[in-house]
Amino acid sequence: MTIDHASATFDVVAELLAELVGDAEVLGIEITPDTTFHEDLQLESIDLVTFASILSEHFGADVNLAEHLAEKDLDDVIGLTVGDIARFVGERTCPR
């Protein structure tokens, strides 16, 4: 994955996430690659399911976040960052 693709992917993921949570900056949160879903954004598992659907609609069926998360331990899901999701999406959407 190129740096440009990674950066563009993060930007789109962050934009889609901002639509889900509302204006994070109003809440005093800047969405960065290190922003966590659970601790920083206070998102619950149902929010991740919703976000998985949003990502799949935007990027296509190859971006199946729900399936990806099903392979992870609970602690890994709780510690999930926006950067983790952007990398996952980038790997699935990178031109070959």
What three-state secondary structure class fits 92?
helix
Residues in a beta bridge with 36: 81
Conformational region of residue 60, where left means phi above 0, alpha means psi within -120 to 50, and beta covers everything else: left
Fill in the amino acid letter for 1: M
Structural domain span for residue 71 = 5-93
Number of compact structural domains in the chain? 1
Q: What is the pLDDT of residue 7?
A: 85
* Structure confidence at residue 27 (pLDDT): 61
H-state helical runs in the chain: 3-21, 45-59, 65-70, 74-78, 82-93
**Could you tell me the CATH number of the domain that includes residue 25?**
1.10.1200.10
pLDDT tens, position by position, 9-59 = 999 999 999 888 876 555 677 889 999 988 988 888 888 889 999 999 999
8 Å CB contact between 88 and 65: yes
pLDDT confidence bin for 96, thresholds 50/70/90: low
What is the pLDDT at residue 95?
A: 67
Q: Which comes out higher in pLDDT, residue 28 or 85?
A: 85
